[in-house]
Amino acid sequence: VAAGLTAILVSIGSVGLPGQVSFFVSIAPICIAMGVPLELLPILLAVEVIPDIFRTLGNVTADLAVTRIVQGGD
């Protein structure tokens, strides 16, 4: 419960930058609340790059699709 509440607060307060920039700032408080050792964070950062690429690709594709829909089909 503490980790969930911490995750909610961190996600509301974190900046919208790529995952690598804000990874430690956003994940460290959650790990501390769960009792997970912080020494594992660099390993998680190395693995997190791949899902981050696909999240970014999905966000950009959705933005382009909505822009095209709003623009109308000329």
Query: What is the residue-level pLDDT of the chain in tens, covering all 74 positions?
Result: 877 887 777 766 665 656 666 777 777 888 888 888 888 888 887 887 788 788 888 989 999 999 999 988 65
Cα–Cα distance measured from residue 59 to residue 55, given in angstroms and rounded to the nearest whole number: 6
User: What pLDDT was estimated at residue 67?
Assistant: 92
Model's pTM, two decimal places?
0.49
> Who contacts 15 (Cβ-Cβ below 8 Å, separation ≥6)?
21, 22
User: What pLDDT was estimated at residue 20?
Assistant: 65
6-42 as b/e: b if 16+ CB within 10 A: bbeebeeeeeeeebeeebeebbebbbebeeeeeeebe
